[in-house]
Each structure stands twice: as C-alpha cells, then as structure tokens.
Amino acid sequence: MQYLSAPLARLITPPQTAIVDHLPNGGLLMSATTETFKVDNPTHLAVARDIAAATEPLNKLPCVHDPDLS
C-alpha cells in the first residue's frame, strides 16, 4: 500500500493493475491487494512492482529539507 499526497499524486499515472483510491484531499492510495499482502504470492508481488515502477520518477525529485521536521 502506498499513499501519495496531492502534489505528488499529480505527477504519476497509477498502474492499471493496482487498486486505486483517489481521496477527497487529492491524495492517492494504491494497494496491491485487498487481502493480506503475501510475498510468496506472485500476483501481489507483480502489482507491488507495478506501483514501484509508477512512482519511480518521484525518486528523482529534489529533496526539500524542512527544518521543522528535524
């Protein structure tokens, strides 16, 4: 399961394989399954990999340090 805030959610296209919930605040929740996630289930892993691939561009964004979080 992965949650993205509204600004980040606008930057990606969720995979069609994922269970996707668009939240009222503009956030995005993506899940691989409605069941308990099992690492030995190839379907669960495939969807998790699809989610990771869809969010990969976010890893290239500059990191902004927030001094209030230190």
Cα angle 32, 48, 25; round to 5: 60
pLDDT, residue 42, reads 97
State the pLDDT at residue 62: 84
Is residue 18 within 8 Å of residue 46, measured between CB atoms? Answer: no
Q: How far apart are CA 52 and CA 47, in angstroms?
A: 9
| pLDDT at position 66 over 70 | no
pLDDT digits (tens, 9 = 90+) for 7-52: 999 999 999 999 999 999 999 999 999 999 999 999 999 999 999 9
pLDDT: which is higher, 60 or 33: 33
DSSP state of 67: G
Q: What sign results for the dihedral spanned by CA atoms 48, 49, 50, 55?
A: positive
Tell me, what's the pLDDT at 65?
66
